[in-house]
Amino acid sequence: MARTEPDARILDTLTLEQKAALLSGRDFWTTKPLEEAGIPSIALCDGPHGVRREAGGSNHLGINESLPATCFPPAVAVGSSWDPEVAARIGAAIGREGRALGVAVVLGPGVNIKRSPLCGRNFEYYSEDPLLSGVLGAAHVAALQAEGPGASVKHFAANNQETERMRVSADVDERTLREIYFPAFERVLTQARPATVMCSYNRVNGVHASQNRWLLTDVLRREWGFSGVVVSDWGAVQDRVAALAAGLDLEMPGTGGASDRRIVDAVRAGELDEAVVNASVRRVVALTARHSGVSGAFDADAHHALARELAAECAVLLKNDHNALPLSPRARIAVIGEFAVRPRFQGGGSSHINATRVDAALDAIRAHAPDAVYAQGFSLDGTGDDRLLRAAAAEAAAAADVAVVFAGLGEREESEGFDRETLGLPAAQVELIRAVAAAARRTVVVLSNGGVVSLEGWHDEVDAVLEGWLLGQAGGSAIADILFGVVNPSGRLAESIPMRLQDTPSYLNFPGEAGHVRYGEGVMVGYRYYETVERPVRYPFGHGLSYTTFTVGGLTVAHTGDDTATVTVTVTNTGQRAGKHVVQVYVSTTAGPVRRPARELRAFTKVSLAPGESRTVTLPLDRRAFAYYDVPLGRWVVAPGDYTIQICENASAVVAETTIRLDGDAHVPVVSLDSTLGEWLAHPLAGPALLKVLTGGDSSRPAEDEADGLRMASSMPMGRFLTFAGIHLPEETLRELVKLGQSGDAAA
């Protein structure tokens, strides 16, 4: 789409009042125009898995009617595709629909990390892993923006729960922010350059994200080089002047002119530099270049077909005992569960799409097996007698060769605005699954849910489990394609499925109390925690079955210098069906002074292979694949030491590995009299000199009692240790020791 960039001199023609007016919305979804200056109004709309362009009155809760648009698979499903092409094709289609509907900015994607499976908005986020989230998010943004509209990557930052979301303080240490909650944003910003970044509602370490200068200016702009617009989440601004000073450009929705007046008053009172206003105005005016007006219709049928194709890439076959799947069209099939006729295909809240059409799974199954029978099984709205419905379902299952039970969560159980309280399915559905499994020869369970659900209490009684997540408007047909083997399942879990809620790493600190939520698990999020503490899960991150089989061999790792490497493996389809395999590369190390997870995903790719076909793939590992964030140094550090490169079937199953040694960063810490005795003794220059002084000249081997004493005192600050031990060093000696301790990296 051709655009005309605004004249850079336009700022000189605007009054302070006009400039202030440009920095907040005209109404709920549009910005203010300045027609006399040639600045148009632009429309923003909710995403991220479709275009929610409201037809009438405005609201942010998904209640008012919106124009018909394609509901593509939400991020919870796309994450399990492990395929940036899937994310890109969805992004491009949403871009085309946004352009057709006159939208300049589509809000999304959401790349927040799934810290707890209870988060009510997990359906809008990709994964518990920042690499997977970042790769998919970058692909979505680049493809969407290539079609014209801008993207708004969200919600920056540490927005990992709905409880008290507008005021809770996410209390997170910097290393955890840098290694877990920032990298997906950083990748999207630096690789795809989104038009806007949306700040989150919550506070981060006590400061509202909307007025957190460290987040919005120091990190976003100065470190990552972001030059686009920072927009508020709708209603997230606490103090408009403080937010503007922190780096928030556009407040949404409009406030009827109240924010404009506050900005003007602050500038005239000398409380706000007009240069700050000018910088934000330039960015907002540049964003209006995406204004295009309504460009016409989109191909709804083609997009529905695309939604069906991509949905089939996202479902995860968790279990398939006795080759219960794929189904034979000749089998007697009982379809059970109200979700088969009233599909749950998207999340609740602001991203609710008015789908152009919706495929029901029962109709799609009957297209393959016309004689399939149906039993309701349970009542979604609570009006039916679940006992009678369950008995009828068991009777239908007993007469069939295979029973396919559709179970999951409705919008009463999960939605934007509140967090879940349990991982379990509704009790009526659990009882139904068990009753059907007891009656049927074979039982297949198909799940529809935006967040992880517990499989305990019924998992071992069924033959197959297909995790369908929320698959968008064509999900019913996609499910049928997988059930009957038209499509070979290739999804892999983007989040772990725990045995119990109590096993989850955030259990003791979610959703917090007294206005604060403490991220006490640190970097040990999701599989990083389960693998490090050896806590069993029902299904690990990266798990997924196929109707064919694969082998991965020939692992070679080439150290390419500057603490980088390349990994090469050969993947072979050893089965009888075409299929796709996800190559997962993890790095495991104990190098460095910080606790590292047992392994971390550092590269992946999805490979499509015909039966008997082999392909060799090479994946790069950059420095960040081996680094940790050193908070005292304020930078990423590769510690010297051994790093094991692991090819995994999933986060729990290593199929091949090899170890390389990296020189890492030569770093000598600076020590002072406030540093501990242990830090002094570990210093390569000051340590031997100090030991020589303390042992009377022999720095090679202190006596056993001296060594024990030094070990006991190792945590004492050096200055206090000298005083406590009654050691009076000559001033010249102390000066020389301090000089050696201050040498730091210069001695490396």
Spatial CA neighbour of 527 closest among 502, 501, 500, 494: 494
Q: Are residues 305 and 355 in the same domain?
A: yes
| E-assigned strand segments in 396-536 | 402-408, 443-448, 464-467, 497-498, 516-518
Q: What is the pLDDT of residue 540?
A: 98
What's the total number of domains in the chain? Answer: 3
Longest dimension (CA), the chain: 97
Q: Are residues 368 and 498 in the same domain?
A: yes
Residue after which a domain boundary falls, among 616, 632, 662: 662
The tokens for 405 are 């039970």
* Integer CA distances (angstroms), 275 to 247, 267, 627, in order: 12, 10, 38
Amino acid present at 344 = R
- Mean pLDDT score of the chain, rounded to an integer? 94
DSSP character string of 129-159: SHHHHHHHHHHHHHHHHHTS-EEEEEEETT-
Query: Would you name the residues annotated as active-site residues?
Result: 233
Distance of alpha carbon 392 from alpha carbon 394, whole angstroms: 6
Is there a domain that residue 150 lies in?
Answer: no
Helices 183-192, 130-146: axis angle to 10 degrees equals 30
For residue 518, which phi and psi values (nearest 5 degrees)?
-95, 125
At residue 57, does pLDDT exceed 60? no
Q: Does residue 263 contact residue 228 with C-beta atoms inside 8 Å?
A: no
For residue 572, which phi and psi values (nearest 5 degrees)?
-130, 135
Spatial CA neighbour of 236 closest among 157, 347, 310, 317: 157
At residue 59, does pLDDT exceed 60? no
Spatial CA neighbour of 348 closest among 63, 53, 28: 63
DSSP character string of 571-620: EEE-SSS-EEEEEEEEEE---SSS---S-EEEEEEEEEE-TT-EEEEEEE
Helix (H, G, I), strand (E, B), or coil: what is residue 558? strand
Q: What is the pLDDT of residue 7?
A: 60
Confidence at 176, pLDDT banded by 50, 70, 90? very high
Alpha helices in 3-71 (DSSP H): 16-21
Q: Are residues 422 and 341 in the same domain?
A: yes
Q: Are residues 532 and 555 in the same domain?
A: no
The tokens for 195 are 């038009």
Amino acid present at 618 = T
Q: Percentage of the chain with pLDDT > 90?
A: 83
Confidence at 725, pLDDT banded by 50, 70, 90? confident
Q: What is the pLDDT of residue 128?
A: 98
Sign of CA dihedral 325, 331, 334, 338: positive
Q: Are residues 389 and 532 in the same domain?
A: yes
Question: Which residues on adjacent β-strands are paired with residue 373?
Answer: 334
pLDDT in tens, 667-677: 778 888 899 99
Confidence at 1, pLDDT banded by 50, 70, 90? very low
Is there a domain that residue 73 lies in?
Answer: no
Residue after which a domain boundary falls, among 539, 564, 597: 539
Q: What is the pLDDT of residue 349?
A: 87
pLDDT in tens, 446-501: 999 999 999 999 999 999 999 999 999 999 999 999 999 999 999 999 999 999 99
Is there a domain that residue 171 lies in?
Answer: no
We report the CATH number of the domain holding residue 374 as 3.40.50.1700
Q: What is the pLDDT of residue 296?
A: 79
Q: What is the pLDDT of residue 2?
A: 42
Q: Are residues 555 and 477 in the same domain?
A: no
If 0-12 CB within 10 Å is exposed, 13-18 middle and 19+ buried, where does residue 704 land?
A: exposed
At residue 699, does pLDDT exceed 70? no
pLDDT in tens, 181-238: 999 999 999 999 999 999 999 999 999 999 999 999 999 999 999 999 999 999 999 9
Q: What is the pLDDT of residue 496?
A: 98
Edge-first strand order for the sheet with 44-46 is 44-46, 105-110, 150-156, 196-199, 229-231
Is there a domain that residue 598 lies in?
Answer: yes
Q: Does residue 213 contact residue 245 with C-beta atoms inside 8 Å?
A: yes
Residue after which a domain boundary falls, among 539, 568, 597: 539
Pairing of strands 653-662, 579-588: unpaired
* Integer CA distances (angstroms), 679 to 113, 716, 722, 729, in order: 35, 10, 14, 19
pLDDT in tens, 297-317: 899 999 999 999 999 999 999
Q: Are residues 656 and 627 in the same domain?
A: yes
Distance of alpha carbon 346 from alpha carbon 449, whole angstroms: 9
pLDDT in tens, 631-651: 999 999 999 999 999 999 999
Q: Are residues 557 and 464 in the same domain?
A: no
Q: What is the pLDDT of residue 60?
A: 52
Is there a domain that residue 645 lies in?
Answer: yes
Q: Are residues 586 and 527 in the same domain?
A: no
pLDDT in tens, 499-515: 999 999 999 999 999 99
DSSP character string of 58-117: --SSS-S-B--B--PPPHHHHHHHT-HHHHHHHHHHHHHHHHHTT-SEEEEEE------T
DSSP assignment, residue 166?
T
Is there a domain that residue 240 lies in?
Answer: no
Question: Which residues on adjacent β-strands are paired with residue 461?
Answer: none
What global pTM score does this model have?
Answer: 0.94
Q: Are residues 610 and 703 in the same domain?
A: no
pLDDT in tens, 90-129: 999 999 999 999 999 999 999 999 999 999 999 999 999 9
Range of the domain at 502: 300-539
DSSP character string of 206-234: TEEGGG-HIIIIIIIIIIT---SEEE--T
Confidence at 704, pLDDT banded by 50, 70, 90? low
Q: Are residues 351 and 471 in the same domain?
A: yes
Spatial CA neighbour of 690 closest among 651, 630, 656, 736: 736
Edge-first strand order for the sheet with 169-171 is 207-208, 203-204, 169-171, 516-518
pLDDT in tens, 107-117: 999 999 999 99
We report the CATH number of the domain holding residue 574 as 2.60.40.10
Q: Are residues 487 and 386 in the same domain?
A: yes
Place of tokens 């600045």: 39
* Integer CA distances (angstroms), 221 to 215, 246, 442, 509, in order: 9, 11, 57, 31
Q: What is the pLDDT of residue 701?
A: 58
Is there a domain that residue 652 lies in?
Answer: yes
Distance of alpha carbon 624 from alpha carbon 483, whole angstroms: 40
Q: What's the whole-number mean pLDDT along residues 12-27?
A: 96
Q: What is the pLDDT of residue 719?
A: 87
Spatial CA neighbour of 25 closest among 1, 48, 43, 13: 43
Is there a domain that residue 321 lies in?
Answer: yes
Distance of alpha carbon 2 from alpha carbon 199, whole angstroms: 29
